Structure 1
Amino acid sequence: MNPFSSLRVRNYRLYFGGQLISLTGTWAQRVAQDWLVLQLTNSGTALGIVTALQFAPALLLSLYGGALADRGDKRKLLLCTQTGLGLAALVLGLLDVSGVIAIWQVMVLAAVLGVISAVDTPIRQSFVIEMVGSEDLPNAVALNATTFNLARIIGPAVAGLVITAFGTGWAFLGNAASSLAVLAGLMLMRTAELFPSKPVDRKPGQYKAAVRYVRNRSDLVLPMLLMFIIGTFGMNYQITIALVAKQVFHRGAGSFGLLSTALAVGATIGALAATFRRGRPTRLFLIGAALAFSLAELLVGSMPTFGLTAFALIPAGLSMITLAQSANATVQLGVEPTMRGRVMGLYILCFMGGTPIGSPIVGWVAQAFGPRWGMLGGGLICLIATIIIGGYLARHHRVGLSELRGRLEQFRA
């Protein structure tokens, strides 16, 4: 089995290469933006506001982005959104290097980035199958995650070097330049080799139709429900890792970066492992991945030393990306082409929409009961919820021993 089978497709190779360069710039910008906010304000509250402005638009616009994907040419739409993201980074960089940057400008541009990203993400997610087809989709989803996590490792390191040598503004300008790579990849694609779905006419009730479609499909409800719960209460490592590094182990920014790198390394291993899987993940696999993630988070929160915490974050990252990729592939492979954009918009809404809810709760728990309980509490909620969902499915949908028996028979054959 070829773990890089989707790279045989020329259009996807162009997309993959452009995304690797562009996402590295995106991660560098995230680090530089946080650092710039602290330089301007020295305020954690201001940092939280900027983060919320950048991610909250997903609550309002993911469905709209999905509807656009169903109605139009996804490649052309991505050319527009990726251009917008590059221009926003360029403006931020020019304001910074010229020395006139103010916190309100950072907030406005963070909101602009959030709006464009909220529209871009469901279009980008639903475009993957049009490049590679359904057979190679699980492999392409896994390679996308690999790209994301490699950039997550490389980008912050690049940002640290650029910020130290030249300042934050040049990290933003670098991200703007990196956008050219993904734009070039999109423009060089051979449109005749794509697998476009038939465009859907614009008409009233399209959002309600998508909700009804998902509501009547338990195989789609399961990954969305799991990702909402775990995305809300479990995947808050950007908060919990920082608190544990600073308040439990009394370490600085370098140690926080090391813990973040350990999580990213685990996620990269998980993404590479997923390239060997083919076909649509089963419900049993999704439940198992959710259980593994919950237990891994509890393990990280229980580690007594810094070194053991860093080591435990590797399986945590692996289980996190395994669950996320499996849920993504389950949704994309289970939906009809004319609904894919809107359904992916719903999926992203479930995945990311809980973050503005869960992050303050996790932060309050860590403040009230200690930093470790940010992880332990989130892990417990995810574990209990997964057990309840798994029990319900085993009782009402014959998921469990029968499905496991079938997989064992396939293995023996």
Structure 2
Amino acid sequence: MTIDYHQLAQDIKHWGKDLGFQHVGICDVDLSKHEAQLQRWLDAGYHGEMDWMARHGMMRARPAELLPGTIRVISVRMNYLPPEAGFAQTLKQPQKAYISRYALGRDYHKLVRNRLKQLGQKIEQAVGPFGYRPFVDSAPILERPLAEKAGLGWTGKHSLILNETAGSWFFLGELLIDLPLPVDSPVSNQCGKCVACMTSCPTQAIVAEGVIDARRCISYLTIELDGPIPEAFREAIGNRIYGCDDCQLVCPFNRESDITEEQDYHCRPQLYQQDLLTLFQWDEATFLKNTEGSPIRRIGHLKWLRNLSVAIGNAPYDPALLDALISRQGQDAMLDEHLDWAIAQQMTKREAAAVEVLPTKTKRLIRIVEKGLPRDA
């Protein structure tokens, strides 16, 4: 059987869009130019406690080692921006819990992987048996350089792939194949002199253009990090309890991003713009029930409470929040560290609030006493 690979490539892109992917591109497997940068990033310790990032060495830049025989990668993107995103509203209400937009709906891993598997099966129906394997953020592979090489977009200064019309609100996936399909051309970088993403990062985690120190990144601190969140970053975390979107929120290319076509990515009401107190009061059974099928579930109830404790510490004083923090003490040493910090924050704000309601003359006397000055100063 003679295969017209140019026609097959066009058919694959058509099939991919029928399966719900907004963009399908094809590239070869040569990522050698990224190996030195990857090694420098690892040597600098920017991966933090994500040991799996270093465990497989340079395999990440060598797809053919991941699946022997691979000569092409089909790279896809799927939009996830929900219609009721409500970014600014939640961030401006410190008593509300901010959850990264990608995590408010169904976990994308299985959904995208299943669609990629279906794409592989459609190709198989057209050409007969061939070697292929789908991946969705689940294997040692440099998916962003592959997406860039396949023409899906360019790498922004926040290290995410940017598309001129879609911004960065999309998931990526890869189908590794052993067919010699024609490849697509990369697109030019259009960030120009804009550094909005770099300057807006609450913890200054973007240490150079396209380089993230994960140890400072709120997404890492609230999701990947298993131990205590460093105190130096707790205040900057604000009310972000799972992930962070700040670098994407300020990006000009995200102003007109398309809304997702997938109902599964729409916001779940039990997670969307909920009060910190409501989420903090969930017991483990409630947490597991309300996060079923969600990426949030994988952090577990203990880290959920840890993250919420930090957010509550950053919230305005509320006696109900203070009581809730105190009620959780004694369950776990790591959690207690964050509870103690949050309790201290709330009590400081309570004292400040009490002073605010005092008469002006009394406030002046307090300031004099604090400075150690004579009362008639």
TM-score range, shorter chain: under 0.3
Larger RCO: 1 or 2 (CA < 8 Å, sep 6+): 1
TM-score, normalization by structure 1: 0.23
Q: If you compute each CA radius of gyration, which structure gives the higher value, 1 or 2? A: 2
Instruction: State the TM-score, normalized to the length of structure 2.
Output: 0.24
